[in-house]
Amino acid sequence: MAIKNVYALPRGFKSTVVVGEGLHAPTSLAFAPDGRIFIAEQNGEVRIVKNGILLSAPFVVIPITFELERGLLGIAFDPKFDKNHYIYFFYTTSSSSKGNPSTPHNRVSRFTANGDMALTGSEVIILDNIPSPSDEHNAGCLRFGLDRKLYISTGDGGHDYGQNAQDLNSLNGKILRTNPNGTVPNDNPFIGQANVRAEIWAYGLRNPYRFTIHPLTGIPIIADVGDETWEEVDIGETGANYCWPFAEGPEPEGISCAYPIYAYKHGNDTIGAAIIGGVVYNGDNFPSEYTGNYFFGDFMLGYIWRMILNELNQVVSVTVFDKRAFGVVDFAEGPDGALYYITQRHGRFSSQLVKIYYEP
């Protein structure tokens, strides 16, 4: 009797390593409109994969503070990149700026691309003074919405700072929303309120390391890394409170809270401990039944799951899609319709850029 390969992808799907060597602690990836893959490394370097080859020269090297979960953490292309060539980055720095001391803090900056290099001196600070009170829970995801606004995830700052997530005068433990130039949109939920940061779009999050924007509805889908018990998937809603540190996953019940649409528990052989979102598939390579499905993973366990949602963003089913993504830290859908992800590994294991595609 043949032994079933428990690590196999569903029938017809294949995976290939696009880049198997040369990446150093990658954290985030994004596709340029021309198909180049930009990869942020935690040490401050931004690498480019062009025609399947990792270029030796970095696009830019950003001076950063690199400690545990601090560093270069996020990347996003301006919706008008073809015209303005703007790329945005989220990173930790100790350099001082106006109104900010020279202590570790997080920053969102914009650079201008000139081919495969950033223009020297092109950095423009978009949002500064995002506190980094510890080297944990800095979040760092950047995504542009269908509304062309920039959405930014921030962590609560670590276990001693969980209360920041409920403080509307703090940028920690939030999803922030700004215009591309850093100004505040006039339809943000807390604009004009005293002692409240107007950049806040949603709050009560622990460490929303990765989130995605639904390509058809524009709704953010947030993967919030849990504490000791639950990992959760949340539907983004303007002004929503996800209730950390008073709630984790579905517990406790009965409080006024935006509860997750899905949560999985720590503590057995098949469940991990660090959720990584995620993309909603909208390509033309996978079979049609995969369109609109949400793919997400777990850094510790190495699983990728397929979540089927209905039109009300309710979970229909969650199934294992792959079990070979140990160290996964980010996902992206390529222009070829394939699903790409990067892993961050150390020691004798190399960080990788991996492609999953369908070929019946």
* Token pair in block for residue 236: 């983004």
Instruction: Give the mean pLDDT of 237-264.
Output: 95
Q: Of 233, 242, 164, 261, whose CA–CA distance to 202 is shortest?
A: 242
Classify residue 251 by its DSSP letter.
Answer: B
Q: Is the dihedral of CA 48, 49, 50, 53 positive or negative?
A: positive
d(CA 164, CA 174): 9
Q: Which residue has the tokens 């401050």?
A: 44
pLDDT bucket at 131, cuts 50 / 70 / 90: confident
The reported pLDDT for the residue numbered 4 is 37
Cα 116 to Cα 54, 67, 174: the distances in Å are 12, 28, 33
What is the residue type of 112?
T
How far apart (Å, rounded) are the C-alpha atoms in residues 296 and 332?
11
269 near 322, Cβ under 8 Å?
no
Residue 100 has pLDDT above 60, yes or no: no
The pLDDT of residue 3 is 32
In this prediction, residue 96 carries a pLDDT of 58
Contact 11, 27 (CB under 8 A): no
Bigger pLDDT: 133 or 120? 120
- Structural domains present in the chain: 25-271+329-345 (2.120.10.30)
268: nearest Cα among 303, 234, 295, 242: 303
Using the 8-state DSSP alphabet, how is residue 275 labeled?
E
SS3 20: coil
pLDDT tens string 307-323: 999 999 999 999 999 99
> Which tokens sit at 224?
């919030």
Cα torsion angle, 286, 288, 291, 297, sign: negative
User: Rounded to 5 degrees, what are φ and ψ at 159?
Assistant: -65, -25
Place of tokens 């080859």: 53
Residue 254 gets the label, from left (phi > 0), alpha (psi -120 to 50) or beta, of left
d(CA 287, CA 269): 31
CB 51 within 8 A of CB 64: no
Q: What share of the chain is helix, strand, coil (3-state, %, to 5)?
A: 5, 40, 55
CB-based contact 130:105 (threshold 8 Å): yes
Alpha carbon of residue 88 to chain centroid? 13
Residue (of 130, 231, 144, 143) closest to 173 by Cα position: 130
Residue 5 has pLDDT above 50, yes or no: no
* Count of Cβ atoms closer than 10 Å to residue 324 Cβ: 15
What digits encode the pLDDT tens for the residues 193-236? 999 999 999 999 999 999 999 999 999 999 999 998 999 999 99
Torsion of CA 25, 146, 221, 52, to 10 degrees: -30
- The pTM assigned to this predicted structure is 0.94
**pLDDT of the residue at 66:** 75
Matching residue, tokens 């005068």: 169
Confidence of residue 136 (pLDDT cuts 50, 70, 90): confident
**pLDDT of 260:** 98
Six-digit token string for 283: 């390509």
